[in-house]
Amino acid sequence: MPIRYILKQLLMPPGILLLLMLLGWWLRRRFPRLAMACLLMGFGGLWLMSLPAVMQWSAGLLEREPALEEAQWATLAQRVDAIVILGAGREQNDPGWGATDQPGLMALERLRYAARLARASGLPMAASGGLHYGQPPSEAALMADAMQRDYGLDIRWREERSRTTWENAAFSAELLQPQGVRRVVLVTQAWHMPRARRSFEQAGFEVITAPMGYLSAGYERPLGGWLPESRVIWQSSQLLNEAIGLLAYPIVYGKQ
């Protein structure tokens, strides 16, 4: 596994927060005040990340794109050339599926939504997603297989080299634009859509956004979402990763 993936796991929450608590325990005798600060930051960060109310508020800051109303689906073919579905990881070696890899849970959400858009509009579809930790098959290939088996629909184009959202856009442009596809419906999670839309627009596409999986919508929770939930830690980490990506992309890739 490349070292960059290991570093990312350690430096992103909850890894960095656990390291802070471990550091606090290690420093407790020589530097008690510093140790207490590390313990408070680590514990406080984990507690905040576990609160549904905090997660939903954070999601609302990222989920700025409105939902694509169902009344517009049937006329999409008059406005765009294709539907592009972004990959979202994979599940490996599940015995329930004969030890074969499957699209990740978020990717399955995107596939389901894209299938409904495709049936309503008649638009062709493209899937974008490369190798997970450098191991085949690609995310795009897994999505294409799931789309055909589960929904009876074909994905016409597979972009199988990308590792990041920026590469999703750049490599999709290399694949699709020479074939006349310049206007696309983009399918991804609502919190991921601002960065995805910006990347595809800078790659030369005209984009209609089709966000789904809104975390800010929420649902009824005990005490208004102020009790910790384990799942929320993972959701909060996704939101934090997205916020960092939004800030980093203009610096790393610049503005075109």
Establish if 218 belongs to a structural domain. no
CA 91 to chain centre: 15
Expressed as residue numbers, the domain containing 127 is: 70-212
Establish if 217 belongs to a structural domain. no
Number of Cβ within a 10 Å radius of residue 206 = 12
List of the chain residues with pLDDT < 70: 1-2, 255-256
pLDDT score for 211: 98
Establish if 229 belongs to a structural domain. yes
- This model's pTM is above 0.85: yes
Average pLDDT in the chain: 94
- Do 146 and 84 share a structural domain? yes
Please measure the distance between the N-terminal and C-terminal CA atoms of the chain and give it in whole angstroms. 33
pLDDT score for 2: 66
Nearby residues of 170 by Cβ (< 8 Å), 6 or more positions away: 162, 199, 203
pLDDT score for 6: 78
Establish if 179 belongs to a structural domain. yes
151-180 confidence digits (pLDDT tens): 999 999 999 999 999 999 999 999 999 999
13, 49 in Cβ contact below 8 A? yes
Burial (0-12, 13-18, 19+ Cβ within 10 Å), 174: exposed
pLDDT score for 255: 59
Establish if 48 belongs to a structural domain. yes
Instruction: Give the CATH number of the domain where residue 178 resides.
Output: 3.40.50.620
- Do 121 and 54 share a structural domain? no
Nearby residues of 111 by Cβ (< 8 Å), 6 or more positions away: 85, 103, 143, 146, 147, 150, 151
